[in-house]
Chain A
Amino acid sequence: MTRRAVITGMGVIAPGGTGTKPFWEMLTAGRTATRRITFFDPEPYRCKVAAECDFDPAAEGLSPRDIRRMDRVSQFAVVCTQEALADSGLVAGGDGAPGVAGAAALEGEAAERTGVAIGNAVGATMSLESEYVTVSDGGRDWLVDHRYAAPHLYEYFLPSSIAAEVATAAGAGGPASVVSTGCTSGIDAVAYACDLIREGSADIMITGGSDAPVSPITLACFDVIKATTPQADDPARACRPFDATRSGLVLGEGAAILVLEEYEHARRRGAHIYAEIPGFASRCNAFHMTGLKPDGREMAEAIGVALDEARLAPEQIGYVNAHGSGTKQNDRHETAAFKTALGSHAYQIPVSGIKSMVGHSLGAIGSIEIAACALALEHQVVPPTANLSEPDPECDLDYVPREAREARLDAVLTVGSGFGGFQSALVLADPELADQERSAA
């Protein structure tokens, strides 16, 4: 019997709202959450906008010790895990009082059959930078003074702490890992989790992505290569994928955690199933650490392999969630990839980029977009590309400008591109679609 992975629970923290519900409301309203950076003074920097989360860890139930021990990136992941587990019905909860200390966790055999795979690109970069500033005395000393380091600095150093915190909070005892392929981490971690379910290493996977990169060093990294937008006058319209006036990406932050479950396991307990993940693939472009070739060849290959694995034809894909980071290089790269992989049907499929609304949260966004895709299937609504008013003539697909759209969706595709040359694609589908395909075959 082929083992299949389905989504049975979700938790989201995105700019503009904490929780899956406000996230979806925001997307379908076409509202944007990009704003002038408030975490530090952005005035000296080239880019001055970001999509920040208004996140209060204490209000989300984290204890003072949790808050000290965990960087923001782990706090996001743990709070989302509580929402996702409660949503899945695997643990009691969802009464508005989650949090780590008192929250319900998995127990017994279920716990040992539950694994964790969390996507993340830049680890606890906020804490690593602020600790660096302290131990180096503001960047003065090369020989930093370890005596000024925070007691949990080693935990901040390890991106795997995110997976450890999630597994500990959930009581999961199966295989655990962080998957860190830059900006495709959020897709690749979910793919990794699906593989563990399929091969039988776990029945349940707590997976997704988390990143909290709105920090001076991350901003500087993107500023020096002019990847981020320099426009500061209208922060709400800062990220404009597929628009002729686009000016670069806008950093974001947040997390999405999914409960993935083996299909029969989910059916036996009568769980609500948002979607199946029937196919996925990643490919390297082996071209450049940050550059993309305009032909989108490797992304097209990843899409083709993902569709084959899902046993779906391009015509069955009702929506494509684009990487849509807001750079010209990306927009042309993926537009070409969609045409190569989907053929003439590429012109018929609505394609949208939600980074226009929630920014680019690096290793988290792939999972936030998977959550958006699952919600699109659930509600039969395609979220729009915000800020798209002057289409780039070189990007000639249907990018769903500004307004959400109702659509008949049985299967959707999401893609991502990451530094290092990573190109990933993942398909979500109504599990009954695969059932029908199989009975027809």
Chain B
Amino acid sequence: MSTVITGLGVMAPNGLSSEDYWTATLNGDSGIAPIDRFDTSGYPVSLAGQVTGFEPEELVPDRLMPQTDRMTRMALAAADAALAAAGAGPGTLPEYDMGVATASTSGGLEFGQRELQKLWGKGWQHVSAYMSFAWYYAVNTGQISIKHGMRGPGGVVISEQAGGLDALAFARRQIRKGTPLMVTGGVDGSLCPYGLAIQIASGRLSTQDHPDLAYLPFDHRANGYLPGEGGAILVAEERESAQRRGAPAAGELAGYGAAFDPSPGSRGALVRAARAALADAGLAADGIDAVVADAAGQQDDDQAEADALSELFGPAGVPVCVPKTMTGRLLSGGAALDTATALLALRDQVLPPAINIHPELTDPRLDLVIGEPRETPVRAVLVLARGHGGFASAAVLTRP
């Protein structure tokens, strides 16, 4: 039994649909820009991957506006797009045959900050009646299931950036157990003052104020990452069920693996996760045509990922893509968006470039796709993701 992806909904800093995102990404058009939602002059970080031009009033039902954070509105819009692409919705399959499993990290933090301000400034009576579920890690799964009448399994997994892949694996597990369709992926973000302050506290954000110099993974000048918002929602289906209803597949989730290692700078968990994903997909390392890297943007973590890739593929053994250089790191949305990237690369047989990093300044052990897209046969892509604290996950996407 295999799991295919039949629908893709993207909400990215450099594109509000999967096609716009893909066009921008192949062009090297970045979504990194100065934060314009609040005054950042008091903060050492002023850049982020903001989703701009998103008009929730047009895409989200009025009824849901007062009860949702921006992050959930983006998730609802991405789910709509993914289901439309898959030609699926209420009634496509029996209600218990469709479920939802998303990754989460920040919940609706901007909503939460507003309500915390009301609580501490005015008193509990002023807190929104929607607060109990708007700043809530499970909110996107709940809202998507309600909007589309999906009564199958509901799931929410959290492992920071690795969560985007863990949600896909969760969805595949439900499909294998008998639920033919799962909406999955992750949309995340917390670009509000408290969210920025929290990420600054990690000590891992770049404080560069020029977009070209801020987030430079695998480059000797790496000095941290930039936060972003958005992600991708995917429709995952059991292959034969999708075929029966005539839904074309964009790719197969052929392999997955996860591991944990808290030692800073360790490649161990990444290597183990990738090996498990390869074994699960029944592929050797030479069966992988490209890698979408985690790309932490920290010297030690980049080194560890380069170590892992060298160990797995040999020196410069596989093309490595870093589309995150155009979006920043999207928490649980990041690996979901990287999965979308992998599926689009499989479709068009082209690998997207990284921007801003310089070939002569990057780790020579890596064959990074930089500056220009690279046309090449793409049959299988490995997506890597790490979550703060020691989480590592890997997924293999193949042509359908």
Interface residues of A (CB under 8 A from B): 44-46, 112, 115-116, 120-123, 129, 132-133, 135-136, 138-140, 142-146, 149-155, 157-161, 163-165, 167-168, 172-182, 185, 188, 192, 195, 199, 201, 216-217, 219-225, 227, 281-290, 298, 301, 418-422
Contact = CB atoms under 8 A, between A and B. Distances in A.
16 contacts: A121-B136, A155-B388, A155-B389, A164-B260, A175-B260, A181-B138, A181-B156, A188-B155, A192-B157, A217-B131, A283-B151, A290-B133, A418-B138, A421-B142, A421-B154, A422-B142
B259 A420 contact: no
Contact of B199 (A154, A223, A282): A154
Interface string B289-326: 00000000000000000000000000000000000000
A309 B379 CA distance: 37
Interface residues of B, number: 85
Query: What are the nearest 7 A-B pairs in CB distance?
Result: A139-B120, A420-B142, A164-B389, A154-B202, A175-B258, A146-B197, A220-B124
A422 B138 contact: yes
Given A174-B260, A217-B119, A219-B124, A182 B136 contact: yes
B156 A180 contact: yes
Interface string B350-378: 00000000000000000000000000000
B5 interface: no
Given A46-B124, A151-B201, A181 B155 contact: yes
A225 B132 contact: yes
B95 interface: yes
A135 B142 CA distance: 31
Contact of B42 (A143, A217, A286): A143
A1 B153 CA distance: 26
Nearest to B67: A289
Contacts of A157: 105-106, 198-199
A282 B155 contact: yes
A164 B259 CA distance: 11
B269 interface: yes
A132 B95 CA distance: 41
A192 B141 contact: no
A420 B129 contact: no
A180 B138 contact: yes
A175 B127 contact: no
Nearest to B258: A175
B104 A180 contact: yes
A153 B355 CA distance: 31
Interface string B127-169: 1111111001111011101101111111111111001001000
A150 B133 CA distance: 26
A86 B100 CA distance: 37
Contacts of B142: 182, 284, 289, 419-422
Contacts of B106: 157
B43 A154 contact: no
Interface string B37-51: 011001110000000
B260 A284 contact: no
A142 B141 contact: no
Contact of B157 (A152, A174, A179, A217): A179
B157 A284 contact: no
A42 B96 CA distance: 42
Contacts of A46: 124
B137 A159 contact: yes
B390 A164 contact: yes
Nearest to A140: B121
Contacts of A133: 116, 120
B239 interface: no
A158 B200 contact: no
Nearest to B137: A180
B210 interface: no
A167 B260 contact: yes
A288 B130 CA distance: 12
B125 A420 contact: no
